[in-house]
Amino acid sequence: MRTIGALIFPGFEILDLFGPLEMFGMLPDEFNARIIAQGHDPVASTQGPRTAVDVTTNNMQCCDLLLVPGGAGTRTEVHNGELLGWIKSVSAQAEIVMSVCTGSALLAQASVLDGKRATTNKRAFDWVCSQAPEVAWARRARWVHDGNVYTSSGVSAGIDMSLAVISQLLGQETAEQVASWAEYQWNDDPGNDPFAT
């Protein structure tokens, strides 16, 4: 059983978070997800609905897989030194670190992407790149896997990335079965990025 620490903050993107968690959640004997935030109160998404918090960053200092969504709130959180410090510390211990959309800006500011290839939402690409120009940003990629870090493009790309992580950990057949259960057409080619242009 692997624990997924799913970080949320004010203004996170709903599908960035719950798309991947839906995929991992179809394997309850393999993954246990915990919603993490800096405080105990429910956190409002970019779209408005609030999500309950399972545990705070003060009380959860490690997890097997870390998931960092994007959303409008990343523009504020890139200046949140306490949160960035937590991301850096947890990432150093995690088996796999994942970001969706502009969540890669938080990983970049936390120095998790130093010396790595990464991608992000194409509509926010230039802004994210400005957060860490030393990162090898891939403009055309559905997701990028470098070492133990996965970064994915905009919003729905997080679902494709999470299935790639499942494939790495549990095999291609399991990932394909999860996609079938979800009635989801998995884009399993990280270079097939129809939104890059």
CA distances from 97 to 5, 120, 185 (A): 10, 14, 24
Q: Facing residues of 144 across strands?
A: 151
H or E element, residue 100: strand 96-100
Q: Which amino acid is at 179?
A: A
pLDDT, residue 60, reads: 87
Comparing C-alpha atoms, which of 137, 124, 18, 131 is closest to residue 72? 124
Using 70 as the pLDDT threshold, list the residues of the chain that sit under it.
none
Residue 62 among the catalytic residues? no
- CA-based diameter of the chain, in Å? 42
Backbone phi, then psi, for 148, in 5-degree steps?
-100, 15
| pTM across the whole model | 0.96
Catalytic residue among 62, 63, 101, 129: 101
Query: How is residue 95 written in tokens?
Result: 């088996």
pLDDT, residue 178, reads: 98
CA angle, 192 then 127 then 114, to 5°: 75
Q: Structural domains in the chain?
A: 2-181 (3.40.50.880)
Rg of the chain (C-alpha set): 15
Dihedral (CA of 127, 11, 155, 42) sign: positive
- The CA distance from 2 to 17, in Å, is 17
CB 116 within 8 Å of CB 136: yes
Q: Facing residues of 101 across strands?
A: none
